[in-house]
Amino acid sequence: MATGLLATALVSIAQLLAIGTQANATARYGTLATILAQQKMEQLRGLAWGFDPSGLPLSDVSTNTAVTPESPSGGKGLQPSSPDTLWRPTDGYVDYLDAQGLVLGGGPAVPRGTAYVRRWSIQSLPSDPNGTLVLQVLVRRHSSDRSPGGEPGVSRTSDEALIVSVKTRKTL
């Protein structure tokens, strides 16, 4: 009887260890996704969106933020994106990262070694289209056996991150 109780206890402990290991891995993926989303948000918020000394609007619409290091030309900068850039790979609004968070490149084709897909959206605020932008960054783990998902109305998993921010013009 004691052997039976001990065996049952050991099986229960083994199951708890397996559940704990899985939860720890999910938390690690979610934390890295959040860090990667925050990095992109800071990069986008750092682009010029203000007024020049004479009071004319100044907007960065050419920086390529999909490459590392970012390039002053060849990209979209803070140009408004199409409404579905968070859900579809759109050139200029997506980059791919390896398991350590290093950028592998951008564009519609997924490079080998991709562990995370990072997409961002830039939209003008309807009530202030010339002065305020709504920035969104979505980071998801990439897996070839995972369905695309992530569309509006579909709940995200704990290993994904979505960050939203507002950027307004200010005098430089």
pLDDT, residue 156, reads: 64
Phi, psi of 75 (to 5 degrees): -125, -165
For residue 103, the enclosing domain spans: 2-171
Q: What are the tens digits of pLDDT across the range 50-101?
A: 998 888 999 999 999 888 888 899 999 999 999 999 988 999 999 999 999 9
% of the chain with per-residue pLDDT over 70: 91
pLDDT, residue 23, reads: 78
Query: What does DSSP assign to residue 55?
Result: S
Structure-model confidence comparison of residues 151 and 28, the more confident one = 28
Core vs surface per residue 85-116: b (16+ CB within 10 A) or e:
bbbebbebbbbbbeeeeebbebeeeeeeebbb
Residue with tokens 């590392």: 68
Measure CA 93 to chain center: 10
CA distance 52 to 132: 16
pLDDT of 37 > 80? The answer is yes
Domain count, the chain: 1
3-class secondary structure per residue, 58-124: EECCCCECCCCCCECCCCCCCCCCCCCCCCCCCCCCEEEECCCCCEEEECCCCCCCCCEEEEEEEEE
